[in-house]
Amino acid sequence: MKIRTKTISVLLTAFLIAGCSSAGSGDETSDLTAFRTTVDTFCSAIAETDARINAVDTSTEGFETEIINDLNSLNTSFSEFAAVDFPEEYDYLEHLADEASDYMSLAVTGYTKVYSDNTLSSEQIQAEFDNASEQYNNAFKRIKVIMTFLNGETSDDAQVSSDESGTLTSP
């Protein structure tokens, strides 16, 4: 279980460093400023959760409960971010936040099963962990794309269609 916890922590840290660091720069209208504050709050909440996950001592009894609580906190942060109404100029990214939240919910469900279901065989634990990790990565991939576009950059992980709507396809 210790390796699994470290894997979660490493992935979370990597995505935080890559995505959230500069999403709030520039002179904007009050709606855009409020949105950027929301993005910063989201990034801060994820960073706090990451710190808690990294601080979990997997050699202590009951560490699984701590991890599950932290994952639930992460899931809440993603759900709240998905509920945000993106400003018009970033409206094309809003569905990615919804998808990220859905993927995180699936990941948390899987990780919770890994850490709490004592009836699973080692093969089932590994399969569930691998599936949860894939969902987790999918969630953060979408957040990374959102942060990239919010920073005025483009992403190799997404394609912007050339039709009038300018919609972004999911990574």
**DSSP states of 80-121 as a string?**
HHHTS---GGGGGGHHHHHHHHHHHHHHHHHHHHHHH-TT--
Length of the chain: 171
Whether 58 contacts 5, CB under 8 Å: yes
Q: Domains in the chain: how many in total?
A: 1
pLDDT above 90 as % of the chain: 56
DSSP state of 167: P
CA dist., res. 2 & res. 58, Å (int) = 6
pTM: 0.77
Q: Give the range of the structural domain holding residue 122, as residue numbers without chain letter.
A: 2-169
Tens of pLDDT, residue by residue over 79-118, are 999 999 999 889 999 999 999 999 999 999 999 999 999 9
CA dist., res. 93 & res. 81, Å (int) = 12
